Chains A and B, each alone.
Chain A
Amino acid sequence: MIAAGLDPISQFELHKLAEFKIGKYDLSFTNSALMMLVAVALTVFWLFMSTSKRSLVPGRAQSIAEISYEFIASMIRSTAGSDGMKFFPFVYSLFIFILFANMLGMVPFFFTTTSHIIVTFVLAMMVMSVVVLYGVFKHGFGFLKLFVPSGIPMAILPFVTLLEIISFLSRPISLSVRLWANMLAGHILLKLFAGFCIMMVTAFGLFPGVLGAIIPFSLTLALTPLEFLVAFVQAYVFALLTCVYLSDALHPGHH
């Protein structure tokens, strides 16, 4: 019973909130879907409140919205060039969605959408489909130059090309696993150390148990801000790598 309550994995379980089926697929609205909805709703609410005034001299809220805009815009300009700005809404949406999903996961008892590999994998596959579709649409067969770097001696060119293909194919995996594993590991750690505090108190009673809980409690205290940092950094890394990959679609053979 105690083990079930303190199980660090149980926080990742999905629960149906509303039954919904299309054909043979079970598309029920789950706690994960609820958190996605909350993330989207919060984003829209935040941007609505902060941009409704549109004042020339921004207030605090408007400044934050503008800083987030400039943050992503300058990230795209520096990695993919100014013609990468056509992907700006996509990258901004990805960044904000992942950031809000990660941050919502830090609220106690809230589900962390990005702690499920399928969610991060779909996000990564969205990026890769945009890269491939745009690359083929814009450059046709020229997009294949991505796999054949220029200035490589003929002797090792096939080997390098093979490596390039493998690295390209592993991108969605690395992109999705990086985000997922960070969120998963962080939440397991937090739950473990927080659970140790409870275990100490339940096993040894209030007085000696609290003393035993000091170390896991201080670790929880230290890990919490670290996890907030990870939540932001992972959203940033995801957006940054998206920009880098989009840069390949824009300028294949430039590397």
Chain B
Amino acid sequence: MFLTLDISLFNLAASAAPKGSGDVLNAEHHESSSAFPPFDPTYFPSQIFWLLVFFIILYFILSKIFLPRIGETLEERSSRIADDLDSAALMQNEAQEAEKAYERALSDARAKAHTVSETTRQAIESEINAELDAADQEAMKQAESAELRIRKIRDAGMENVETIAVDVSQDIIEKMLGKKLTLATIKKAIG
């Protein structure tokens, strides 16, 4: 069972190709197979012919279509990479310049801010001083007027005290002595 299977397998392998080519060819093949096949000159012309045909076809297809295509792709890529590197270098330069400009602008702004704050400070200081002076003067004025009013009130009070004293003394004398003195005499007595 195994024997027949194996043999038929190998016969199939050996005779797969000539199956379609007929008995005459098979006979021819058996004749020539006595020699070592790689040295058998029967098929030399055929092999040379088809090798040249297929190799030349391959050469032309490769050299006209595919190799230029791959070469172009590679070249495109390397030039693209070189371009990208160039533009990257360019951009880096730009970035560095921008950074310098930024730093310059920053220091300018800082200086400007410094002067602005200085002038503002001075302006505010002078304003504060002016307002302080004004407030001082106002306060002094108010203090003076207040003093004046106090004095007036005290004077008025003193006058009132005199009249009250006269009235009170008149009442006291009247109660004690039983007689009424004139205002003028009492005033004279007190004054």
Instruction: State the A residues within 8 Å of B (CB).
Output: 1-2, 4-6, 9-20, 25-33, 36-37, 39-40, 43-44, 47-48, 51, 54, 56, 58, 62, 65-66, 69-70, 88-90, 92-93, 96-97, 109, 111, 113, 115-119, 122-123, 126, 180, 184, 198, 201-202, 205-206
- Knowing A12-B38, A33-B47, A36-B51 are in contact, say whether A205-B2 is a contact too (CB < 8 A): yes
How far apart are the CA atoms of A30 and B145 in the complex, in Å? Answer: 138
Tell me whether A119 and B58 are in contact (CB under 8 A). Answer: no
What are the 4 tightest A-B residue pairs by CB atom distance, in nearest-first order?
A5-B10, A89-B63, A15-B17, A33-B50
Instruction: Report the nearest B residue to A5, measured CB to CB.
Output: B10
Q: Does B114 contact A (CB under 8 A)?
A: no
Q: Does B25 contact A (CB under 8 A)?
A: yes
Instruction: State the B residues within 8 Å of A (CB).
Output: 2-3, 6-7, 9-11, 13-14, 16-18, 20-21, 25, 29, 33, 36-40, 42-52, 54-55, 57-59, 61-63, 66-67, 69-74, 76-77, 80
Tell me whether B74 and A69 are in contact (CB under 8 A). Answer: yes
Instruction: Report the nearest B residue to A23, measured CB to CB.
Output: B45
What 4 additional pairs, Cβ within 8 angstroms, besides A119-B47, A184-B38? A5-B7, A25-B49, A92-B62, A122-B51
Our pick among B20, B52, B57, B71 for the contact of A69 (Cβ within 8 Å) is B71
Chain A residues near B37 (CB-CB < 8 A)? 9, 12-14, 116
Tell me whether A5 and B14 are in contact (CB under 8 A). Answer: yes
Chain A residues near B13 (CB-CB < 8 A)? 11, 109
B43, chain A: closest CB distance, angstroms: 5
Tell me whether B36 and A44 are in contact (CB under 8 A). Answer: no
- Knowing A15-B21, A119-B51 are in contact, say whether A25-B43 is a contact too (CB < 8 A): no
Chain B residues near A198 (CB-CB < 8 A)? 6, 10
- Knowing A4-B14, A51-B69, A66-B70 are in contact, say whether A96-B47 is a contact too (CB < 8 A): no
A31, chain B: closest CB distance, angstroms: 5
How far apart are the CA atoms of A119 and B21 in the complex, in Å? Answer: 23
Tell me whether A96 and B58 are in contact (CB under 8 A). Answer: yes
How far apart are the CA atoms of A39 and B13 in the complex, in Å? Answer: 20
